[in-house]
Amino acid sequence: MENLEQQDLLLTTQSSNSEPIPYDLLLDIFSRVPGKSIARFRCLSKSWRSKLGLPYFTELFLTKSLALPRILFAMQVNKELLFFSSPQPQNPVDNSSLVATRYKPFLNYYPAYITPPVHGLVSLHQRASKEWVIYI
C-alpha cells in the first residue's frame, strides 16, 4: 500500500512541472475522437462523465463529426488496389476542385469484390483467402 502511495506522489510531483491543457482545447480534441471511444471515456470517472456529458460538448461533437463527410474510393492500377479519400462536396454547383488523399497500401492485391458502402462501411471479399474484410 505504501508503495502505491509513493508512486502516486511521484507521478503528481513529476506532472506538476508541466502546464495543464486548457479545458477548451481538451474538448476540441475529444470532439474529434470516435463516438465509441467517448462512450468508453465517460466510464472512467464521474468527472469525465460529467464533462463529456455536457450539452455544449454534445453539440460540439455532433458539429465536428458531421462537418467534414468524406468519400472513400478505390481503383485498380496495374494489379495494385489503391484507396483514396476526399472531402465530400458541400455545394454540387460549385466548380471547385477536390484533393484526394491516398492511403498507404495495406493489402496485398488479390482480386476482390468491393460491396457498396453502407453507413460508411465497405467490405472487400478476397477470392484468394475467401475472407470478408470490413473497412471504415
Question: What length is written for the chain?
Answer: 136
Burial 17-35 (b: 16+ CB within 10 A, else e): eeeeeeeeeebeebbeeee
pLDDT by residue for the chain (136 residues), tens only, comes to 444 444 444 444 444 455 667 778 888 888 888 888 888 888 888 888 888 888 888 888 887 766 566 777 778 788 777 888 887 766 666 666 777 778 766 555 556 677 777 766 777 666 666 666 655 5
Counting beta carbons within 10 angstroms of the beta carbon of residue 52, is it exposed (0 to 12), middle (13 to 18) or buried (19 or more)?
A: buried
**What's the CA gap between 134 and 4, in Å, rounded?**
43
- Residue 114: the pLDDT is 75
Model-level pTM? 0.38
Sheet holding 131-135, edge to edge: 112-114, 122-126, 131-135
Q: What residues does each domain of the chain span?
A: 2-67, 70-135
